[in-house]
Structure 1
Amino acid sequence: MTQTLRWGILGTGRIAGVFARGLEHSKTGTLLAVGSRTQKSADRFGATWNVSRCYGSYEDLLADSDVQAIYISTPHPLHAEWAIKAAEAGKHILCEKPIALNHADAMAIIEAARRHDIFLMEAFMYRTHPQMAKLIELIEAGTIGEVRVIQAAFGFRSNYDPESRLFRSDLGGGGILDVGCYCASLARLVAGVATGKPFADPTQVTATGYIGEVSHVDEYTVASLAFPGGIVAQLLTGIQVTPDNEVRIYGTAGSITIPVPWNPGAGQTTRLIVKRDGEATEYTFETEDLYGIEADTVAAHIEDRQSPTMNWEDTLGNMRTVDQWRAAISLTYPTEQAEGPDQHLPVHKRPLAVRSQTIMKYGSIAGIEKPVSRLVMGVDNQTNWPHASVMFDDFFEQGGNCFDSAYIYGGGQCEKILGQWIKQRGIREQVVILDKGAHTPHCNPQALSSQFMQSLERLQTDYVDVYMMHRDNTDIPVGEFITVLNEHKNAGRMHAFGASNWSLERLQEANDWAAEHGLVGFSALSNNLSLARMIDPVWAGCIAASDPAFRAWLEKTQLPIMPWSSQARGFFTGRTRPDDHSDSELVRCWYSQDNFQRLERVNELAHKRGVLPITVALAYVLNQPFPTFPLIGPRQLSETRTSLPALTLDLSPEEVRWLNLEA
């Protein structure tokens, strides 16, 4: 059932007026309120569009309990902050495109919408036009055969104005974010429909372009995209060039041209032209106000919280594509730099703090005075500031305080970004740093010390909470390693230390030697431990602690383990089948008859408990009879979210044994 909605507009720029006009033609929406940064601006907008409630701040608009839906029309860099705050206020959201400055911020918005159970849609109004529905129908029917090439252009020539958001890098200016995102979204839509999906993400994005010497934004650029199914696309955009703003799609049996794809005006007749076998067929559409249609689309899908017109996964994929386009021409914005404006705050622009009612649990490790979160975030994949800061902020806000890095990760970039984030947020004494070094072939006491001092510099700290040797070197007596580690501990540079990928025999030998010589031994271990048995080491020198003998030793000694690949690198995520060998690494390391038996039991228990299979697999590690602090390596906020419920899934000893085929 389509609902009627009372709208508030957040922001009073040009596009806000366009949407206000659209609401006048909406069948479901009325404009109740407007919020601006100044009362003068709000009053002026209200007088123009007959708005009864005019607020001189965005906060006051969001506080209006009568406003049900918010249209966000601020400059790009402000979208994330105010979309998140609108979600927190319980407002449904239509956010002007692009939904955020980058993919990372878009993830944060979508997680906020999910957490607060509100509707959210990115405002690609062209997707709601009837000619798009016809385009999808024609491609699905194979009218032009198999799609081969997509060409999309959207640009305009604007007179240079240093105060215009289009030419300001601090406001996310340039063509890609302003209108190039339309081209990317349409190419992904067509490529997806052509391959039997709602949309498709490119497998490759290359581009060239001109970044203004004064503006420092992309003034014009062309991108080439490769999609599954042999489909390629050429996208053109710019704010200093005026192309024919058309879309052309070429197939094996014909072509489709859309002369006015992006913003046909109300009352305008638009055409979709199909050429096949030398003949042209035209489909015509009488256009209503496109922004009114967009508002009605929101109302029609409120209960679903997403619209098929532009759902959340589509938005995330488009932002990822746009990020790749910008990266291909080396375009970043000041607000995406670690030292940029307001980078001491999370994307919602409030001081970082743990959310109330988190489900995180904590444990202790000898030598570390702080409580240690039972889940540890691995930072081996965080190599750029926007993504890393959003991922780290979210984990911390959910109660996670332990972060795992290493000297070799990202050639040192991962340590640098983690250290920068901790410094920017001012939370060194609130987090636990697990850092590793002395990886093969530099696994010796001298390299350990040299690397460790460099790691401290990268991390911008004078100590780590727990240090792990990343590998073992059996040619060196354990006493030499224990001695140098104690030297660093006594100097206060590490509060505890342990070993990663050490054998049971060497661990016992090292701790025995330490005890005999009055020194501190290993306080923790970081081998692999997961429900799935590691068939072949993920990397050379990797050692698992999953076998009965190792687990019995851990239970006896109660030595904490901080296991990597605790979720078997995705084996239990639902994408694994005995007949699916598309992921060669997964096949090599985890495919075996007994692991698929474990997967069957995981699925059975997950169904019984009403949770995801991955939740059961991680809960298996958390419910061992010895202290465990599993490392998780989420690449997206959704992966962090789906990992956390394992903390609250209690498994009995009998269930733990049954899952591992021991009962």
Structure 2
Amino acid sequence: MSSKLAWGILGTGRIAGVFAKGLANSETGTLVAVGSRSQEAADAFGAQWSVERCYGSYEELLADEQVQAVYIATPHPQHAQWAIRAAEAGKHILCEKPIALNHAEAMAIVEAAQRHQVFLMEAFMYRCHPQTQMLRELLQAGTIGDIRVIQATFSFNAGFNPESRLYNNALGGGGILDVGCYSVSMARMIAGIANGKDFVEPTQVSAVGQVGSTGVDEYTVASLSFPGGVLAQLFTGIQVNGDNNVRIFGSKGSITIQSPWLPERGQAYLLVEKNGQSEKIDVESEVDLYGNEADTVATYLEQLQAPAMSWEDTLGNMQTLDRWRKAIGVVYEAEKPEGKTLTVSQRPLRVRSDASMKYGNLPGVEKPVSRLVMGVDNQTEWPHASVMLDDYFERGGNCFDTAFIYGGGACEKLLGQWIANRGIREQVVILGKGAHTPYCTPEWIVKQLDISLGRLRTDYVDIYMMHRDNPEIPVGEFITVLNEQKKAGRIRVFGASNWSIERLQEANQWAAEHGLTGFSALSNNFSLARMIDPVWAGCISASDASSRAWLTEHNMALMPWSSQARGFFTGRAKPEDHSDPELVRCWYSEDNFQRLERVNQMARERGILPITLALAYVLNQPFPTFPLIGPRALSETRTSFEAVNITLTPEEVRWLNLEA
């Protein structure tokens, strides 16, 4: 670098001082500013570490144009807020571990870094150290044979102090987040090496632990299973001293790291035991632990992430920490929905100025309806639901698909809670569904709608869909009760999900003959990939030529589910890969793989993802479509939204569908 990277430190606690000391030994960085919640604390820190500019607020530091990178050293619950705001300010980010309270917040941070194209790394300094690199090389070389068992410990006895950060639930206290994150990251890395990768995720996480009176984990042990038969035992705590080492047992020997987390300068080494003999392998480690971490940031600045701790690695680590906490019942107050009116950035919810969503109209629904509809069928916990729904709304989405049966009612409750917390009922369109088999009767439409409205905390849904059909009941009975609910103001318009075209025609004809309103929309499966076998019993597709012709002729709005063929176009589907039996059963066919080839070809030509192009196919039909999407991660939402701005000609649509 031609000049040193100008750093600012956000926070003035103990770890901020540790990093400031390390930065002084960095080859690439210099400390130019510090921000605190008070001017007094900032000045005191500045005097101690000879900092030029001292700010009494974090906002002032982020507004300093001379600051290029920030080290976030605030308590855990504030990481997400300030990392996101740092990204918005165009600052590169080194965030103290854990990067957030949970996986959902971590996703929001990563998305902010991606959107604003800034560097982001979670501050696992040991990952940047030569000792860890030496460990990688020994394991990759098969020094101890096949990796079988990992033991990793990071635990200390802080003594019980309910006023301490470590014991404060509101500050994300406990051992798992404070130091257990190290053990998890090490185990995932080692198991990854065993599987020929940088890291892998555990297939199973079980744990026992002592949760104290303040609601945080005081000490706990976790057992993890990884692909390839690798097992890990992890021990962490804040109320008991541990050995704080790492041992890896293989088929031909073992490796012990006596100081894996805080290797001292000039004293790093690995102990290899094989065939009854021990070998001490010294590691050249004259680098300063934290200064070297800062140098790692500078080295990979243009790549936006460093191999030592990539974004995907961080997200996987947070997900495992979530699973560990869940196994012993630790939930933070910040993760509960009550009173949570702000987004993870601690701002009121609003649509972003750069949102590019497009909208359509459904007769009878007074609000414009976003062309992409958010499926709320997998949201059962507040942290994940709130982050996913906030992001969708911020991108311009306003229509939410839910159903009486989703999550046993949990999905409706969380959606209702989120809408109430954010105060946006009149800004959103709720697509609710009920009367699923075996409760597909006029009576159950009313009963389930009563319950759904209570869960959703509203007195009406904008669009109501019958979730299934019941051919044994005359269409007139369904049309009659749906019109009664519409007249009562409990629904604005109604439609049919998984109804045949013939049955829908019959219903609408009956409605017209009796001066009543008919179905305004259809919600059947529709995607570029042909559904070979129904995903669920009673499901119906509208992807065939005759259904498409009817929808075009009648200009009927289609709100299709599985609009992206449940991942068929993500790269998971290969003729020789039968590891996902549901994907094989529902979507594997010769013609679908021909469509996949064409999607891949056009996607390469356009420089977009195949899954995005497949969704664009659904959006570019000659009849109105409002595809339902079901992202599990913010990255999936992002790539789905890119489809809204892709235009396909009628000829291209036919070519993708093997019609030209």
The reply to whether TM is greater than 0.5 is: yes
Q: Name the CA distance, whole Å, in 2 between partners of 1:254 and 1:536.
A: 50
1:84-133 superposed Cα distances (whole Å, 9 cap, x missing partner): 00000000000000000000000000000000000000000011111100
| Offset from partner CA, 1:498-522 (integer Å, 9 cap, x none) | 0100011100000000000000000
What does residue range 367-516 of structure 1 map to in structure 2 within 5 Å?
Answer: 367-516=364-513
**Corresponding position of 1:54:** 54
Select which of 607, 611, 614 maps to 1:614: 611
Within the candidate set 566, 569, 580, 1:569 is matched to: 566
1:626 correspondence with 2:623 = yes
Paired with 1:2 and 1:248, the residues of 2 have a C-alpha distance of 42
SS at match of 1:571: helix
1:521-548 residue CA offsets vs partner (Å, 9 max, x unmatched): 0011100010100000000000000111
- Aligned residue number for residue 18 of structure 2: 18
Identify unmatched segments of 5+ residues in structure 1: none
Structure-to-structure mapping, 1:643-654, within 5 angstroms: 643-654=640-651
Aligned residue number for residue 160 of structure 1: 160
Letter of the aligned partner of 1:571 in structure 2?
Answer: F
- Separation in 2, partners of 1:603, 1:29: 43
Name the CA distance, whole Å, in 1 between partners of 2:438 and 2:618: 30
Match of residue 272 from structure 2: 274
Q: Which residue pairs with 1:205 in the alignment?
A: 205
State the secondary structure of the residue aligned to 1:226: strand
Q: Paired residue for 2:182?
A: 182
Alignment correspondent of 2:217: 218
- AA aligned to 1:336 is E
How far is the alpha carbon of 1:275 from its aligned partner?
A: 0.4
SS in 2 for 1:467: strand
Q: Structure 1: how far apart are the matches of 2:287 and 2:614?
A: 52
Distance, in Å, in 2 between the alignment partners of 1:469 and 1:287 is: 68
| Counterpart residue type for residue 636 of structure 2 | E
2:316 alignment counterpart: 317
Aligned residue number for residue 252 of structure 2: 253
Question: What root-mean-square deviation, in Å, do the aligned CA atoms of Structure 1 and Structure 2 show?
Answer: 0.9
For the 8 Å contact 1:245–1:260, the answer to whether it is kept is yes
- Residue 446 of structure 1, CA deviation: 0.6
Q: 2-side partners of 1:375 and 1:2: how far apart?
A: 46
Q: Tell me, what secondary structure is at the counterpart of 2:397? A: coil
2:543 maps to: 546
**Alpha-carbon contact 1:572-1:599 (below 8 Å) kept:** yes
Corresponding pairs, count: 659
CA displacement at 1:3 relative to structure 2:
6.4
SS of residue matched to 1:465: strand
Q: 2:298 & 2:608 partners in 1: Cα distance?
A: 31
Moved more, 596-605 or 75-84: 596-605
Residue 241 (structure 2) aligns with: 242
Deviation of 1:270 (Å): 2.1
State the match for 1:64 in structure 2.
64
Q: For residue 264 of structure 1, report the CA deviation from its aligned partner.
A: 2.3
Q: Which AA in structure 1 matches 2:312?
A: E
Question: Is it true that 1:147 corresponds to 2:144 in the alignment?
Answer: no
Cα deviation digits, residues 42-71 of structure 1 (max 9, x gap): 011111111110000000000000000000
The residue type equivalent to 2:344 in the other structure is V
SS of residue in 2 equivalent to 1:249: strand
Cα deviation per residue 1:610-661 (whole Å; 9 max; x = unaligned)? 2111111111110100000000000000000011111111111111111111
Partner Cα distance (1:376, 1:492) in 2: 23
In structure 1, give the amino acid aligned to 2:422. Answer: R
> What's the offset of the Cα at 1:662?
1.2
Does structure 1 residue 9 correspond to structure 2 residue 6?
no
> Could you tell me which amino acid in structure 2 is paired with residue 496 of structure 1?
V
In structure 2, the residue matched to 1:172 is 172
The answer to whether structure 1 residue 532 and structure 2 residue 529 are counterparts is yes
Q: Which amino acid aligns with 1:583?
A: D
Distance 1:290 1:33 in 2: 21
SS of the aligned residue for 1:234 comes to strand
CA shift digits 1:442-497 (9 cap, x unpaired): 10011111011100000000000000000000000000001010011001000010
Residue matched to 2:332: 333
1:553-592 aligned within 5 A: 553-592=550-589
Q: Note the alpha carbon deviations across 1:119-174, whole angstroms, 9 max, x for none.
A: 00000001111110010001100000000000000010002222211000000000
Letter of the aligned partner of 1:147 in structure 2? I
- 1:4 deviation in Å? 2.3
Tell me, in whole angstroms, the C-alpha distance in 2 between the residues paired with 1:620 and 1:427: 31
After TM superposition, list the pairs within 5 Å mapping 1:334-349 onto structure 2.
Answer: 334-340=333-339, 343-349=340-346
The residue identity in structure 1 corresponding to 2:165 is: R
Amino acid at match of 2:632: R
One-letter amino acid of the structure 1 residue matched with residue 657 of structure 2: N
The 3-state SS of whatever aligns with 1:540 is coil
Structure 1 position 88 matched with structure 2 position 88:
yes
Q: Could you tell me how far apart the structure 2 residues matched to 1:539 and 1:38 are? A: 58
Q: Is the 8 A contact 1:209 1:222 kept in 2?
A: yes
Tell me whether 55-64 or 158-167 shows the greater mean CA deviation: 158-167
Residues 165-204 of structure 1 show CA distances to partners (whole Å, capped at 9, x for unaligned) of: 1000000000000000000000000000111000010000
Contact 1:3–1:299 (CA under 8 A) maintained in structure 2: no
C-alpha distance in 2 between matches for 1:183 and 1:331: 18
Question: Contact between 1:80 and 1:106, CA under 8 Å: does it hold in 2?
Answer: yes
Q: Is the 1:98–1:177 Cα contact (8 Å) retained in structure 2?
A: yes
Q: Deviations over 1:370-423 (max 9, x none)?
A: 000000010100000000000000000000000000000000000000000000
Structure 2 CA distance for aligned equivalents of residues 606 and 289 of structure 1: 46
Q: Over residues 418-446 of structure 1, what are the superposed CA-to-partner deviations in whole Å (9 max), with x where a residue is unaligned?
A: 00000000000000000100000010011
Change (3 A) 1:3 1:227: farther
SS in 2 for 1:433: strand
Amino acid at match of 1:271: Y
Give, in whole Å, the separation in 1 of the partners of 2:606 and 2:444: 49
Decide whether the 8 Å contact of 1:622 with 1:629 is kept in 2.
Answer: yes
CA contact (8 A) 1:2 1:300 kept: no
For normalisation by structure 1, the TM-score amounts to 0.99
SS at match of 1:574: helix
Residue in structure 1 matched with residue 134 of structure 2 by the alignment: 134
SS in 2 for 1:113: helix
> Between the two proteins, what is the percent identity of the paired residues?
70
| Alpha-carbon distance, 1:287 to partner | 4.3
Give the 5 Å matches for 1:76-115: 76-115=76-115
Runs of 4+ in 1 over 4 A off after TM superposition: none
Question: Contact 1:76/1:99 (CA < 8 Å) preserved in 2?
Answer: yes
Letter in 2 for 1:113: A
Structure 2, unpaired ranges of 5+: none
Deviation of the 1:607 alpha carbon: 1.5
Report SS of the residue matched to 2:180: helix
Cα deviation, 1:564-593, whole Å, max 9, x if unaligned, reads: 000000101112110110110000000000
- 1-side partners of 2:178 and 2:2: how far apart? 31
Give the Cα–Cα distance (whole angstroms) in 1 for the partners of residues 108 and 237 of structure 2.
28
